[in-house]
Amino acid sequence: MSVRVGIVSFAHVHSPAYAAVLRDLDAADFVGITDEDPGRGAEAAELFGVRHFDSAGSLFEEVDAVVVCSENSNHARDVIPALQAGVHVLCEKPISTTLEDARAMIQASDTSGSQLRTAFPVRYLPSMVRARELVRGGALGRVLAINGTNHGQNPGGWFLDPELAGGGAVMDHTVHLADVLRWMLDVEVKSVYAEIDAFFGAGGTDDAAVLTLELEGGPVADGAFATIDPSWSRGEGYPTWGDVTLRIAGTSGVLDVDPFAQPLRIFDHEKGTPSWSYMGEDMNALMLADFLRGVAEGEPSGASGLDGLRTLEVVLAAYHSGENHEPKNV
C-alpha cells in the first residue's frame, strides 16, 4: 500500500534528495509540493513531475504524510498545522531552534494522534546498524570513549542567518552524532563542554567546534565520554562533501565506523581536480521507506520528536558552554 505524501517547503538543501527518493519509492504516492516561496515551489514541482499546491492547507487535504524541509526556525510553523490536520510528519533536523517550539510540536503530535518523526538518516546506514549490534552485544566490553566527526562544507544561504538557522555548524551537524550516540549506546548526555568559533569563512556564525559530552545510563556506556567535531571544514573544491565517523573504544576492543568509505574516486587530468562519488546505501531512501512503513502500519518508526528534542538540548547546551567556557548540564 502506497502512502500519499507531500513536501512542505523546498528551503532545505536536503529537499531535492528527498523528492527524488519519494518520486521513485514504491511505498510513496508523491502527490505534490507546497512552498512559502511560490516560484521555488512551482519550479520544484515541475522538476519532479508532481502538483504544486498554493497553500499547505490544500496539500494537507490530499496527503497522509508530509516531509517538512523549511528553515530550522520555521519548523513549528509548518509541523504543528500538519499534525492538527491529521497528517503525519517527518521533520528535517534539527527539530527546531528552541525547546519551546520542540515541545509544542511534540504536544501537537500527542494531542492529534498524528506521528511526528525527526529526520536522522545516519541511523539507517548499514555500518551504523551493525556497530550498534556489536556494541549492545558486548563485543567491545564496557565503552569508555567515543570520538565522532561530522564534517561538511559551508552550505551558505539561510544557514548563515542565526534567526533562521538557530546557529551554524554546531546546530547543523551536532544533532546527527548526538542522536547516533543516544540510539547506539542507549545513553543520555549529562553535560557538554564546547569550544566554538568561526575559522573557515562562515562570517557571523560558527563553523568550527569541538564538543566533549559526558554520557550516563545504558548497560554498556555509563560514565563514558564522547567528542564531536561538527565543523564545516571542507573548503571549496574539496572532493568530499564531508564525513560521519565514529571510533568507539571499550575495555575489550576498539571499533572504527566510516559509513561513507565506499566512494568512486576520479581524477580529471583536464580540469586538474578530483571527484568523489558515494556508492553505498542511500540513507535517505532507507529513512523515508521506514517512515512511510510506520505511517501505513500505524506503528511509528525511526527517530521520534522526543529524540529530536534531546539532541536539540545537547546543541543548546554546547552554545551555552561555548559562550561561558565551562561545562553545561543538559
Within 8 A by CB and 6+ apart from 2, the residues are 26, 27, 28, 29
CA distance 260 to 213: 24
Q: Which of 128, 114, 51 is nearest to 86 (CA)?
A: 114
CA distance 126 to 136: 15
Given a cut of 80, is residue 1 above it in pLDDT?
no
pTM given for the model? 0.96
Q: Left, alpha or beta for 96 (phi > 0: left; psi -120 to 50: alpha)?
A: beta
C-alpha of 232 from chain center? 15
Given a cut of 90, is residue 48 above it in pLDDT?
yes
Percentage of residues in the chain having pLDDT higher than 90: 92
The pLDDT tens digits of the residues spanning 105-140 come to: 999 999 999 999 999 999 999 999 999 999 999 999
Using 50, 70 and 90 to split pLDDT, how confident is the model at 235?
Answer: confident
| Arithmetic mean of pLDDT over the chain | 96
Instruction: Domains for the chain: give ranges and CATH numbers.
Output: 3-119 (3.40.50.720), 123-281+312-329 (3.30.360.10)
pLDDT of residue 66: 98
- Which run of H or E residues covers position 274? strand 273-278
pLDDT of residue 152: 93
Residues 64-87, mean pLDDT to the nearest whole number: 98
Using 50, 70 and 90 to split pLDDT, how confident is the model at 275?
Answer: confident
pLDDT of residue 272: 80
